[in-house]
Amino acid sequence: MNIAQAVVSRQVSRVLLALAAIALVLTSLPLAANADEPDESGKSHDLVLQAISFVVNTPGNQEMIAERIEDALEAPDKSGTDLTKVQQAGQALRAGDLRTARQLLQEAIGARGYTGVNAPAPIRETLPAPATGVQTETHVVLDPLTPSRIPDSGGIVVLTISGLAIAAGVLMLHGDRHRHTIRPRHGSSPGANR
C-alpha cells in the first residue's frame, strides 16, 4: 500500500467511524421517544375556537370544520357556549355560507362579530386570569394580515434609499478593485502542509 492509499484508507475508516457514531445516535434516540398524544379537548368552547381557526386557516377544508362543530355539540363540558348558535353555524356551513358560519361560531363563544383584521380584544365580562405556560389566550381568530406589496410614499423613500445604498456599495467595490496576481492551479494542493 502506498502513501496515498494509506491516507485514503485512514480517511475512509474515520468517516465510517463517524457514520457509525451517528447511526448509534439515530437508532437510540427514537427508542427514547414516547410522545404523549394530547387528548381532544372536552370543552365546547375550545372546539368552537378550533372550528373558527379552520375557517380562517383552511376554509376549503369543510370536513374538519364540520367535525369540530359536531365535537363541540357533543363535548361533555358545554359551559360558556351557546349551542343553538353552534347548531346554526353547522347549518350555515352545510349551506355553504362560511361567513355566516364563522359569525355564528364567534357569537356562540361570546366573541365579537368579525369587523376586520384589526378587530381587537374579545368581549368578556370579567378580566381573565394572566396567561401561563403555553396558553394561547386567543378568543377571536383574526384573519392573516398581509401588508400591501405596493409601496406607499414611505415605501418609495425606503426603496430610493435602498437603491442608493446598492449603487454606493457597487461604486465602492468598483473603486476598490485589487490587482489579480494569482491564478489557482486546479487539482493541486500546495497548501496541504500549512
Partner 1 sequence: MSVFEPAAKPRGRLRRALDAVDERMGISALQYPVPEHANNLSWSLGGLTAVSFLVLVVTGVYLAQFYHPMPESANQSVRDIVTTVWLGGVARGVHFWAAQAMYVLAALHLLRLFLHASYKRPREGNWLVGVAMFALITTAIFTGTVLKWDQEGFEALAHNVELAQLVGGAGLWFTSELARQVPILVRLNTAHAVIIPGLIAILLILHVLLVKRHTISPHPAIAPTGTEVDEPFTRHIRRVAAMGLVLMGILGVLAVLLPPEVGPTPVEGVEVTRPPWMFWWMFTLENLFGLSAILWGGAALFILLAIVPFADRGPERHWRKRKITIMVAGLILLTIIALTLAMALTPQASHL
Name which of residues 153 to 182 contact partner 1 (CB under 8 A). Answer: 154-155, 158-159, 161-170, 172-173, 176, 178-182
Rg (CA), the chain: 31
Beta bridge partners of 77: 43
Q: Candidates 20, 22, 95, 123: give the one binding partner 1 (CB under 8 A).
A: 22
Note whether 60 binds partner 1 by CB under 8 A.
Answer: no
Nearer to partner 1, 79 or 178 (CB): 178
Q: How far is the CB of 83 from partner 1 (least distance, A)?
A: 19
Of 89, 10, 87, 26, nearest in space to 54 by CA: 89
Of 25, 27, 23, 74, nearest in space to 48 by CA: 74
Per-residue x/- track, 110-149, partner 1 (CB under 8 A): -------xx-xx------x-xxxxxxxxx-xxxxxxxxxx
